[in-house]
Amino acid sequence: MVKIVLATLNAKYIHAAFGLRYLLANLGDLRDEAALLEFDINQRPIEIVEQLLASNPNIIGLGVYIWNVTPTSEVISALKRLRPDITIIVGGPEVSYEVDRQPIVQQADYVITGEADLKFAEVCRTLLAGEKPAFKVIPAEVPDLSQLTLPYPLYDDRDVAHRIIYVEASRGCPFTCEFCLSSLDIPVRQFPLPPLLENLAELLRRGVRQFKFVDRTFNLNLATSKALLQFFLDRYEPGLFVHFEMIPDRLPEALREIIGRFPPGALQFEVGIQTFNPQVAQLISRRQDYARLADNFQFLREHTGVHVHADLIVGLPGESVESFGIGFDRLIALRPQEIQVGILKRLRGTPIVRHDIEWQMIYGEHPPYEILQNKLIDFAALQRMRRFARFWDLIGNSGNFINTTPLIWSDTLSPFTEFMRLCDWLYERLGRKHGIPLSQLGEVLFQFLTEAKKLAPATVATALWEDYQRGGRSDQPLFLRPYLPAAVVTRREKSHSSVPKRQERHLAAG
């Protein structure tokens, strides 16, 4: 009999509910009476309700995040109408702060705030014993990580074959960046390495080749970083891909040495820079050494095969569009393979709100709570920046236009200015930034480069054709044919690598 159902709505099917697997793994004697159900935000809430009720549970625990709070509210509303006798417990980062302001908290019976790995089991035992917790909002004590049962055996064969496998070696963050929930997780705590490495070895044995570490500061603890890197280096096989988040200005020689021994494409580092403006960084309590950051980027790009994914944020207090553009140009010069241009979000509980009055910060009222305008960037300018972020992802990050993208700013010192010009040009002609077929995007990019920038059609066509083939395509687009010599198609074998496709395209470009 299933008495407890753990469920959440993932952003996509390929994402696995890491937090719920911790809850299930740590249910102790209740584990055999519990089930885990995963859905995604594209499924209809009423159909999710049907599956949740199918096993007639006593308790339903729901993981709530910024991407699923709205449909999860619909699910809870229907559950309460149909089966008011079932106890609904919610938890997760979205409901761990500002609980008194949220309708979803009012709908649920109980809310567990914080890291609920052990607290959820405790609350379930109380409820199943016929008792009620003293309060609706139940804060979870920070768990001793050495006491947690690790969840990795709960990744089933379907997860191994089709989903991103999340892992972690630590929790918490030593920094206090005001836009980030991790700044509230102090201190940093390490999982004991021997049992973690045993579990990672078992995942490798089962065929896992992509590992995504969710640690906020992978390279903070040198001993742990070296041990993890050595573990994967010793077991490297073609197709292995390991993702880490790293502090941009901390890369000591001991780490450099081992990172440099990995084959190209095996490691991805997500590097959160967020701003190159020192005054803005000080405003949001972010500490980083820009000279060391640049030196680390130079090392990674010139002496390793690491795929570098760097982050910048639009809309921070004190950062104008011009200031952001200067930072973007600096980052382009450091040559990461990808630059994620994010729009500032007011995540619940973060101290970024202390700037609301001085910098006239206005955010969307509903998820994802993105900035709408502020003192330095009005709404129209922020809309342009949203289009910039989207088109940059389609063109600059995707790996579909690696040879073509540099042509956009080949005659200027400012990639930001010229890419913004392209964005305005594309939006004027297409009227949208989503649902654009790759072939159409390539054609309008060709038109911009040859008509607006007056570049030689043959030069642009050659770059686009090389990019087009990199994706494994051999059908020469009609709009390119007049500008290319007789088609010499470099046929590429279909890849069976487990490296993500976007990263694989960057790797193929060298």
Q: Does residue 499 carry a pLDDT above 80? A: no
Residue 197 lies in a domain: yes
Spacing of C-alpha 255 from chain mean position: 24
Position 207: which residue type?
A: G
Q: Does residue 171 carry a pLDDT above 90? A: yes
**Same domain as 203, residue 120:** no
**Same domain as 229, residue 122:** no
The pLDDT value recorded for residue 380 is 98
Spacing of C-alpha 344 from chain mean position: 14
Question: Minimal CA–CA distance to 285: which of 318, 252, 249, 250?
Answer: 318
Count the helices and strands in the chain (H runs, E runs). Answer: 17, 16
The pLDDT value recorded for residue 182 is 78
Residue 150 lies in a domain: no
The pLDDT value recorded for residue 473 is 81
Range of the domain at 417: 398-510
**Residues contacting 219, CB < 8 A, separation 6+:** 225, 244, 246, 247, 250, 251, 255
Confidence of residue 488 (pLDDT cuts 50, 70, 90): low
What is the tens place of the pLDDT at every residue in 346-373? 999 999 999 999 999 999 999 999 999 9
The pLDDT value recorded for residue 58 is 98
CATH classification of the domain holding 121: 3.40.50.280
Position 298: which residue type?
A: Q
The pLDDT value recorded for residue 267 is 97
Q: What does the pLDDT average to over 475-479?
A: 90
The pLDDT value recorded for residue 500 is 80
Q: What does the pLDDT average to over 113-141?
A: 97
CATH classification of the domain holding 298: 3.80.30.20
**Same domain as 418, residue 367:** no
Q: Measure the CA–CA gap between 228 and 211, rounded to whole angstroms.
A: 12
**Same domain as 170, residue 309:** yes
| Cα dist from 189 to 146, 196, 350, whole Å | 10, 14, 20
Contact (Cβ atoms closer than 8 angstroms) between residue 480 and residue 503: no
Q: What does the pLDDT average to over 449-474?
A: 92
The token pair at 316 is 């921070």
**Same domain as 226, residue 93:** no
What DSSP line would sit under 145-171, residue for residue? GGGSPP-GGG--HHHHHHSBEEE-SEE
Q: Measure the CA–CA gap between 119 and 142, rounded to whole angstroms.
A: 10
The pLDDT value recorded for residue 495 is 56
The token pair at 306 is 């690491």
Question: Minimal CA–CA distance to 69: which of 93, 53, 46, 33?
Answer: 93
Q: Measure the CA–CA gap between 27 and 18, rounded to whole angstroms.
A: 15
Contact (Cβ atoms closer than 8 angstroms) between residue 109 and residue 87: yes
Q: What does the pLDDT average to over 368-390?
A: 98
Q: Does residue 496 carry a pLDDT above 60? A: no
**Same domain as 253, residue 207:** yes
The residue count for the chain: 510
Confidence of residue 173 (pLDDT cuts 50, 70, 90): confident
The token pair at 341 is 């241009």
The bridge status of strand 267-274 relative to strand 362-363 is: unpaired
Residue 372 lies in a domain: yes
**Same domain as 278, residue 177:** yes
The pLDDT value recorded for residue 301 is 96
**Same domain as 348, residue 207:** yes
Q: What does the pLDDT average to over 13-20?
A: 96
**Same domain as 264, residue 207:** yes
Helix (H, G, I), strand (E, B) or coil at 10: strand
Q: What does the pLDDT average to over 40-56?
A: 97
The pLDDT value recorded for residue 220 is 87
Residue 151 lies in a domain: no
Residue 30 lies in a domain: yes
Torsion, CA 409, CA 411, CA 412, CA 416, rounded to 10: -10
Q: Does residue 206 carry a pLDDT above 90? A: yes
**Residues contacting 79, CB < 8 A, separation 6+:** 49, 52, 53, 60, 86, 88
pTM, rounded to two decimals = 0.92
Contact (Cβ atoms closer than 8 angstroms) between residue 369 and residue 347: yes
The pLDDT value recorded for residue 338 is 97
Which of 310, 344, 377 corresponds to the end of one domain? Answer: 377
| Angle CA 143–146–151, to nearest 5 | 85
Question: Minimal CA–CA distance to 182: which of 102, 101, 247, 112?
Answer: 247
pLDDT > 70: what percent of the chain? 96
Residue 206 lies in a domain: yes
| Cα dist from 35 to 30, 32, 51, 58, whole Å | 10, 8, 12, 12
**Same domain as 314, residue 367:** yes
Q: Does residue 491 carry a pLDDT above 70? A: no
The pLDDT value recorded for residue 1 is 84
Residue 392 lies in a domain: no
**Same domain as 402, residue 280:** no
Q: Measure the CA–CA gap between 510 and 505, rounded to whole angstroms.
A: 9
Q: Measure the CA–CA gap between 260 and 242, rounded to whole angstroms.
A: 14
What is the tens place of the pLDDT at every residue in 187-200? 789 999 999 999 99
Confidence of residue 487 (pLDDT cuts 50, 70, 90): low
The pLDDT value recorded for residue 56 is 97
The pLDDT value recorded for residue 497 is 63
| Angle CA 352–356–359, to nearest 5 | 105
Q: What does the pLDDT average to over 163-175?
A: 92
The token pair at 51 is 């599956």
Q: Measure the CA–CA gap between 128 and 123, rounded to whole angstroms.
A: 9
The pLDDT value recorded for residue 501 is 76
What is the rounded average pLDDT for all residues in the chain?
Answer: 94
pLDDT > 90: what percent of the chain? 87
What is the tally of structural domains in the chain?
Answer: 3
Q: Does residue 96 carry a pLDDT above 90? A: yes
The pLDDT value recorded for residue 498 is 65
The pLDDT value recorded for residue 185 is 66
Residue 175 lies in a domain: yes
Instruction: Show the 3-state SS of 37-75.
Output: EEEECCCCHHHHHHHHHCCCCCEEEEECCCCCHHHHHHH
**Same domain as 215, residue 131:** no
Which of 377, 410, 425 corresponds to the end of one domain? Answer: 377
Higher local confidence (pLDDT), 495 or 222 = 222
Q: Does residue 492 carry a pLDDT above 70? A: no
The separation between the first and the last C-alpha atoms of the chain, rounded to the nearest angstrom, is 55
What is the tens place of the pLDDT at every residue in 241-273? 999 999 889 999 999 999 999 999 999 999 999
